[in-house]
Structure 1
């Protein structure tokens, strides 16, 4: 018969221990007491578990002496805190930690223990982030003073990059995230100066409301009640308003994309008494949106198929390349002029479609060559070509921003770190305070090279050392190598079909400058000037009228008799925005009385 297994109060499974500390304690009890009792006299009595932390109790069978040994040194950061910090840093939560622990046969941490350590880490990460942003502001301040960018009162003026991020993926159509964040980053240092988080939901409050009971005392994470698309603009405007009080800085120029009404709201808020904030559009967003719109024309069935086939992806990228070269050339001129860049961009589509008559030498090798132009003559008289010209004029209208040649990649990089901390936006961390904690932790990780070491040192007042230091040094070396040897990345282009007043292409924006409006009006009027031969060709091509897509498109650019009365009778003090939108963007014009009458009686007239 086999000997029975001795009973013990220690639970089964594996444990995480500090090897050097545990062996040192075993060595201390290996020879103890007057009888020189050794380890062979020691038996396990019990184990007290608290998450992944264990306290073992041993009893000597010779001298009946008890010994208590933990699995980690008390002078180190507790193992439970370290595990929660690590699990947050890789974008996981309590349920993922339980699954990992069970797979490794380790003790499972309770929800209460997890939340206790989560709260402790949240407070320390918040303090670290605040210190980091203050240091970044001091660096920006010194650089602004060196560059001489100060007001009469001696207040430094800096450029900032700002953008927002949301707690769930919208797929360009569903902007209903419960949480959102926005960061303001200094252009010179590339570090975060201000971070704000908005949350529309609180688990405790919602549960109490549903059960109709009193809300227990808790930290309420809900601090916003408006539309999700308005989170970004509210946070950034708040950051501009607090810049003087927090950092003693003026954010004189905002570099951002154009898909939010942020700038319009900053102008309304007037955060600085005698300074108007200047807006510079991100070059990458302008060109990406332009290419998206051009590619959308390839599938617009209202244009002739033969014409759409001429608008190839290679020609779109050729236009983009010409614009990039024009930006580079004009930016590097001793005295860069916005008008020169505006004129150069207007030639980009002619170059892409084989007309090199007015090309410039820095982006074209075939100046004046018209022999290779295989584009049909009727293409330039069609509605698709007119639409392309309008889009080129629109991107040329951003010449002032393009001349700066700046982009918002720094804030997009911060968004990628947030995406990592929130599990790729696949897990809902908006129920309590977790989303805000992860955004703050991301800010520390973004501003500091050794974020976890900084956290460890703040909580224990000593450097962590060991594997953490080795990993952070290895990560820093990989970063340096990736910056030295860059790889070209593939870019996916998406089409946006919905609009929103707070976010997207149709968001609220300030009116364009008067001189730019005059230039674009003149260019538009010139595009309407046609020769007798061109008029005759247009007449033949649009003979089917409402059944012809080109006729509908041509009609948008003209003030026809059916709309003339509405325009001429409009009062001076009546806004014209809705009238213009109705004329330009209404797809179905069967509502026009004269057209409806003609369609109903056309067959009778032909008989």
Structure 2
């Protein structure tokens, strides 16, 4: 009698059906305790069960197979790796913890490629369905508003952009779903190994499609996606994005000169915050600390939110922020609490609940605010790339930035998995078996 070690992933219905069929020679019912040998194929395995009547040895699979003897559970494993965001090492540790026999790296990679192509098909179909939904919600008009943003697979400090790969998406304003996505990669491990050895690379699905810098990926991807929509007679005439002048300039030059660009409110607030921290780092103002900066950011956000579509009021309110911090409330708008109860008002959001007094600081803060007040027309009609940021978080969960996967197709597969999840939901994984 064969004594198996560890646990197994078993499709009970398949195993029970084969045992019920019985011996292939005499038809007698087979029993698991008569197993004399087992042969592993990744997660799947074949049980060799000896008949107690005629001694014939039957081959009993523990799961379903497809195509050229490929086990379904191994293909599902490949899909699970892309969906969960783990790598081969973590997978082996998981199997060891569950006392399940390990799967060879070659098997995992093959099934990752098989499942990945299915994921990419589902992702592309979800984008086409999202585009149809966007047009329907836009009353059939082909002039649509989209949000655009990019992300990279390596952590960036804001000054260093050296990622080997990056992705970008266009998200419809009405549907909130991804209409198109693109991907750039500067590496291919198989091509580089062949070049180093001075030989021809083997036939493979090379995903290297970029030789420029990581920073230059975003404008190229955005232009590529806009052109793809134009081929289908869809015209994104309004583009919401961060203040990347290169991207919008190239989009107008290569796609449509009439594209209107709208700033993203989240990037705008972040830029404002960075200017305040830069000022504090350079000038070392004692009154410009964390509490002061937080209050400035809050006031800035309130003004932007309350005066959309009202450029004149927005400009006046922006210019009131700094006087408000110094105790001058004559021109303050409705968000100022001093207006409600002047006698008992205390500036609790400022250090030590006291107004600012440094006049040099006041001059520098007014200079920063003045740059935004001069753009009141532009700032009075802001968009949002929050859906893009949400997508970037999904990508990071499926492709952690501490993993290097850009040398193969894995990065592309995981980005596609994130696209499918954003458009369909986590249930997209169920469509892979169809």
TM-score normalized with structure 2 length: 0.89
Unaligned runs of 5+ in 1: 1-5, 151-155, 459-607
Find the partner of 1:251 among 223, 236, 239: 236
> Is contact 1:357–1:367 with CA below 8 Å preserved after alignment?
no
> Is contact 2:150–2:168 with CA below 8 Å preserved after alignment?
yes
Alignment of structure 1 residues 230-309 onto 2, 5 Å: 230-246=216-232, 248-259=233-244, 261-269=246-254, 271-272=255-256, 276-300=258-282, 303=283, 308-309=285-286
Q: Would you say 1:202 and 2:188 are equivalent positions?
A: yes
SS at match of 1:163: strand
Q: Would you say 1:84 and 2:78 are equivalent positions?
A: yes
Q: Would you say 1:360 and 2:336 are equivalent positions?
A: no
Aligned-partner Cα distance in 2 for 1:142–1:161: 18
Partner of 1:435: 411
* Residues 127-169 of structure 1: CA deviation (Å, up to 9, x unaligned): 11111111111111122236xxx4xxxxx11111111111110
CA 390–376 in structure 1, closer or farther in 2 if over 3 Å, else same: closer
Find the partner of 1:126 among 117, 120, 127: 120
1:367 deviates by 8.6
Partner of 1:497: none
> Is contact 1:414–1:442 with CA below 8 Å preserved after alignment?
yes
Find the partner of 1:14 among 7, 17, 20: 7
SS at match of 1:441: helix
Alignment of structure 1 residues 148-547 onto 2, 5 Å: 150=141, 156-246=142-232, 248-259=233-244, 261-269=246-254, 271-272=255-256, 276-300=258-282, 303=283, 308-331=285-308, 336-366=309-339, 379-380=358-359, 382=360, 384-422=361-399, 424-449=400-425, 450-456=427-433, 458=434
Aligned-partner Cα distance in 1 for 2:33–2:369: 84
Partner of 2:64: 73
Aligned-partner Cα distance in 2 for 1:359–1:194: 44
Aligned-partner Cα distance in 2 for 1:101–1:78: 18
Partner of 2:105: 111
Aligned-partner Cα distance in 1 for 2:17–2:25: 14
Aligned-partner Cα distance in 1 for 2:339–2:311: 25
Partner of 1:515: none
* Residues 55-113 of structure 1: CA deviation (Å, up to 9, x unaligned): 11212142133322111134897010111211221111223222322333322222222
Aligned-partner Cα distance in 2 for 1:220–1:74: 28
> Is contact 1:41–1:62 with CA below 8 Å preserved after alignment?
no
CA 363–372 in structure 1, closer or farther in 2 if over 3 Å, else same: closer
CA 396–368 in structure 1, closer or farther in 2 if over 3 Å, else same: farther
Structure number with higher relative contact order (C-alpha < 8 Å, ≥ 6 residues apart): 2
Q: Would you say 1:102 and 2:78 are equivalent positions?
A: no
SS at match of 1:196: strand
1:175 deviates by 1.1
> Is contact 1:282–1:401 with CA below 8 Å preserved after alignment?
no
Aligned-partner Cα distance in 2 for 1:41–1:266: 65
Question: How many residue pairs align between the two structures?
Answer: 423
Unaligned runs of 5+ in 2: 348-353
1:436 deviates by 0.8
Partner of 1:461: none
SS at match of 1:298: helix
Aligned-partner Cα distance in 2 for 1:372–1:426: 47
CA 174–105 in structure 1, closer or farther in 2 if over 3 Å, else same: same
Aligned-partner Cα distance in 1 for 2:133–2:304: 30
> Is contact 1:190–1:410 with CA below 8 Å preserved after alignment?
yes
Aligned-partner Cα distance in 2 for 1:99–1:178: 27
Structure showing the higher strand proportion among its residues = 2
SS at match of 2:251: helix
> Is contact 2:152–2:166 with CA below 8 Å preserved after alignment?
yes
1:362 deviates by 4.1
1:42 deviates by 7.0
Partner of 1:568: none
CA 117–38 in structure 1, closer or farther in 2 if over 3 Å, else same: closer
Aligned-partner Cα distance in 1 for 2:102–2:174: 46
Q: Which one is further off, 58-67 or 364-373?
A: 364-373
Partner of 1:52: 43
Aligned-partner Cα distance in 2 for 1:429–1:211: 22
Aligned-partner Cα distance in 2 for 1:401–1:135: 33
Aligned-partner Cα distance in 2 for 1:62–1:395: 89
> Is contact 1:359–1:368 with CA below 8 Å preserved after alignment?
no
Aligned-partner Cα distance in 1 for 2:20–2:414: 42
1:259 deviates by 4.6
1:30 deviates by 8.6
1:318 deviates by 3.1
RMSD: 2.8
> Is contact 1:256–1:280 with CA below 8 Å preserved after alignment?
yes
CA 41–277 in structure 1, closer or farther in 2 if over 3 Å, else same: closer
Aligned-partner Cα distance in 1 for 2:432–2:381: 38
